[in-house]
Amino acid sequence: MINKIFTLTLLFISGCINAQVLYEYPKDQDFYEGGRKSFYNEIQETVVKNNVKPCEKTEALLMRFIVYPDNKVRYVADADVNAVENNKCLKSKVLDLIKNTNKWKPAEVNGTKTAAMFCALFSDDLLFKKQLDEEDFSKPVYMHKDKESDIMKFRENFIKCFDVNGYRPNGNYSFKINFDVDTNGDTGFFYIENQSNLPAFNEMVVKCASNTKKSHWKPAYFKGVPVKQFFKMPIKFADNN
């Protein structure tokens, strides 16, 4: 499997980080010793040890971080201003708790340590090890012509939008479009895996995955609090000649 290093830019990523990083960790690699479960356990232990108090209201926030080759960790500033503003208590608390963690594992590509992102949805329920219920979550809803639909309708509209005229793949060509649906239902933070070397083609991918006047998203929720969620959608084109 090839893991391409990319530079976060305004074209494909909503937000700006002046560094080359992997969009996510390579398969079968963890960002923390012992994996995500160990990461959460250490944070929960620190909550108890330091007598951390819950926020006054229900808060939930999807947060991204970059783990660098020197084991340093950096929070990725969120372009979703409303989400950050409405969850200031939780964000501050998580950033303080992460200062007490030190078992970070940089990603590796061909034996070379490489900066990479990971993300996690935080809430007081997670921090205080409370039992989560599926009913606490609701997924984003794709809206087409003011009617609730699903991801298959989104895929259908994406394909209809995509104009392959003038683009003839050399054999079969596939890529994966990654994007967020934020707390306003806006799409953003686009990243194309196995992107084309044609800028116009890549721009069309982002355009067709973006909201339109006829189609948009309702955000996901956790206990009534809107939360960001990310999507991954594979697309394949076949050379029929």
β-strands 225-227, 220-222 pairing: antiparallel
Q: Which two tokens stand for residue 112?
A: 């070379």
Percent of all residues in the chain with a pLDDT value above 70, rounded to a whole number: 87
What is the per-residue pLDDT for 135?
Answer: 86
What DSSP designation does 135 have? G
* 5 pLDDT higher than 50: no
pLDDT of residue 129: 87
pLDDT at 154: 94
Radius of gyration of the chain (CA): 19
What is the domain partition of the chain in residue ranges?
Answer: 6-132, 136-236
pLDDT of residue 241: 53
Q: Which residues of 135-161 are buried (b: 16+ CB within 10 A; e: fewer)?
A: ebebebbbbbeeeeeeeebbeebbeee
State the Cα–Cα distance between residues 104 and 70, nearest whole angstrom.
9
pLDDT at 91: 97
Give the pLDDT confidence score for residue 16 in this predicted structure.
Answer: 35
Confidence (pLDDT) at 71: 94
Tens of pLDDT along 175-223?
Answer: 899 999 999 999 999 999 888 888 888 888 999 999 999 999 999 999 9
Lowest mean pLDDT among 46-60, 91-105, 195-209: 195-209
Which of 220, 217, 222 lies closest to 132 in space, CA to CA? 222
Q: What is the mean pLDDT of the chain?
A: 87
Per-residue pLDDT, 183: 97
Structure tokens at 52: 């951390």
- Structure tokens, 3: 């893991």
CA dihedral 32, 35, 41, 47 (to 10 degrees): 30
SS3 at position 158: helix
Parallel, antiparallel, or unpaired for β 20-21 and 6-7? antiparallel
Give the neighbor-by-neighbor strand order of the sheet with 229-237: 187-193, 173-181, 229-237
- Quick one: which of 213, 24, 200, 218 has its CA closest to 109? 24
Higher pLDDT, 13 or 231: 231
